[in-house]
Amino acid sequence: MGFLRKSLIIGTGGAAGMFVKPNSKKERIANAAEKQLRLQKQMLKASQPPGPRAVRPSKKRTPTIPAAPKYDITCPKCATVQSSTAGLHFCAMCGFPMEISSQGQIGEGSFAKRFPKPS
């Protein structure tokens, strides 16, 4: 390393001497000792068993809402079969109002009473 430094200074006419600073033997020995100490500390740290990890809280499952059951209903007016859930519905073909119970029956509730069944 000394040879390279010296040839750089001679080749640049001394201008490289402002940027390249020579290290004395004492400085190199001190730096080597510090480096050795750092390596020993790192090895000591690596040989120790890792500490306990923090316990993560488990994710709670969100309750799923079951889908409403679908029933095959036959329209009393036009006799088309439709698949629908319980509640108030109109026939897709003729527009006849139907009240479907939770058991899948066409009901005679207030919605169906307003519209008379065809004879």
Domain enclosing residue 24, as ranges = 2-45
The verdict on residue 79 lying in a domain is: yes
How many domains does one find in the chain?
A: 2
The verdict on residue 7 lying in a domain is: yes
**Residues 47-96: tens digit of each pLDDT:** 888 778 888 888 888 888 888 888 888 887 888 888 888 777 788 888 77
Predicted model pTM: 0.34
Q: What secondary structure does DSSP assign to 56-112, as a single string?
A: PPPPPPPPPPPPPPPEEEE-TTT--EEEE-SEEEE-TTT--EEEE-TTSPBP-SHHH
The verdict on residue 86 lying in a domain is: yes
The verdict on residue 65 lying in a domain is: no
